[in-house]
Chain A
Amino acid sequence: MVEEEADEALVTRCRNGDGGGFATLVGRYERVIFNLAYRMLGDPDAARDVAQAAFLKALENLHRFDSRFRFYSWLYRIAMNEALDVIGHRGRQRELTDVHLADDDPARDAQTADLGERVRGALGALTPDHRAVLVLRHYQDLSYEEIGRVLELPDATVKSRLFEARERLRVRLADPAGEH
């Protein structure tokens, strides 16, 4: 595919000291990486920090990138690990706030929060493992196999975890008015 070849060429340019190659890679993936981080963290400021850290870490470790694989999968893995680290450090306090928003006050949720807020709260109420597979499947449009490479999981685990996560999200996003 043309785009993957272009990524490879940009990686080669980076490895040869061409800063323009890295700038182009950042421009190409900044939105998806920021979006991935936002969906994982639910906080635009934290998402920006994680996305920045992911790009910097990618550059630092470019010599470790195996060009037999797709660059974006490798970049997603770095970004996802950064986001999971933040979630780990953040602890459960923030997550519980989101659970409260999503579960304990559904009337307020329906009346005052828009769809983005409801989805943010529902995603925040999932475990990070469940959230990760959902985000990679629904927002990054990765296949089971690609998700497995990013999260370093067998395909069967990806599939079962995704189905489970989707089921939990279905319950959390259930519309009180019965609309779809």
Chain B
Amino acid sequence: MDARTLDLINLELDGRLDAAGQAELDAALADDPAARARREQLRAVARKLADAPAPALPLDFRDSVLRRLPQRVNRRLRAPRFWRGGLALAASVVAAVIVLRVVQHGPALSPDQLGATLAPATATVTPAPRPGGLSLNFTLPQAPADLVIDLPGEGPLTAFGEQGAAPIVEGRRIVVVAAGGSFAVHVSGDIDGFSANLVRGEAVTPVTVRVP
């Protein structure tokens, strides 16, 4: 049996043989018992693969995937190193609340005054009020990270993203798995302030709030 015949047998097995190829194979098989035997062996391989049982999917598979979505981010946030950056986080919370009030109720502090209170960072967010909530326009460095937005207060929140953002809402926390770039997260609910942090591994970096 030559290599061409073996190729034709494989192509036939994969349903890729056209009429001319099939005629060529049939002619080759008619004159070659070894080729006929090989075709049967390869068909048997395909049957065995198809018939080999696989274990059943775990019943809770989907739930276990969905449960891991927020947990993975929360676990990082609960890491001890996170609390070493607690002061920076607290500062960003306070700043965000102040900035939000400026946005919603008019400037009480100048942008310079606000900027002086914020931790330096390359990641920025520009908040803007929207009916029933808040729009957060982010510009993040080009690097994979989890963007964690915390909104103090009570009551349910809903969120949707733009420009590729897919926010996941968990109580008063919103998580966006981000790769960097610019995108918007629109939040609805009872909102009185927010903080935003980038979480990469165990490193937490506050996102700088910019006044529009």
Do A and B come from the same complex?
Answer: yes
Chain B stretch 28-82: residues in CB contact (< 8 A) with chain A: 40-55, 57-58, 61-62, 64-66, 68-69, 72
On whether the beta carbons of A170 and B42 are closer than 8 Å, the reply is yes
Q: How large is the interface on B (under 10, 10 to 19, 20 to 34, 35 or more residues)?
A: 35 or more
On whether the beta carbons of A17 and B49 are closer than 8 Å, the reply is no
Whole-angstrom CA separation of A161 from B167 in the bound complex: 41
Chain B residues, CB < 8 A from A26: 62, 65-66
Does any Cβ of B come within 8 Å of A154's Cβ?
no
A-B contact count (CB 8 A): 116
Chain A stretch 37-82: residues in CB contact (< 8 A) with chain B: 38-39, 44, 47-48, 51-52, 55-56, 59-64
Residue from the list A17, A34, A64, A166 in contact with B10, Cβ < 8 A: A166
Q: Which of B85-93, B122-130, B158-166, B189-197 contacts A (4 or more CB under 8 A)?
A: B158-166
Residue from the list A31, A39, A52, A138 in contact with B68, Cβ < 8 A: A52
Chain B residues, CB < 8 A from A64: 179
Does any Cβ of B come within 8 Å of A149's Cβ?
no
Please list the residues of chain B having a beta carbon within 8 angstroms of any beta carbon in chain A.
Answer: 6-7, 10, 13-14, 16, 40-55, 57-58, 61-62, 64-66, 68-69, 72, 144, 159-161, 164-169, 177, 179, 185
Q: Which of A1-9, A84-92, A99-107, A112-120 contacts B (4 or more CB under 8 A)?
A: A112-120
On whether the beta carbons of B64 and A63 are closer than 8 Å, the reply is no
On whether the beta carbons of B41 and A180 are closer than 8 Å, the reply is yes
Determine which residue in B48, B166, B168 has the highest number of CB atoms from chain A within 10 A of its CB, and name it. B166
On whether the beta carbons of B179 and A61 are closer than 8 Å, the reply is yes
On whether the beta carbons of B52 and A116 are closer than 8 Å, the reply is yes
Residue from the list A17, A118, A166, A174 in contact with B161, Cβ < 8 A: A17
Chain A stretch 122-180: residues in CB contact (< 8 A) with chain B: 134, 137-139, 144, 159, 162-163, 166-167, 169-170, 173-175, 180
What are 7 contact pairs spanning A and B, CB under 8 A? Answer: A17-B169, A18-B160, A23-B66, A38-B55, A39-B54, A63-B166, A163-B6
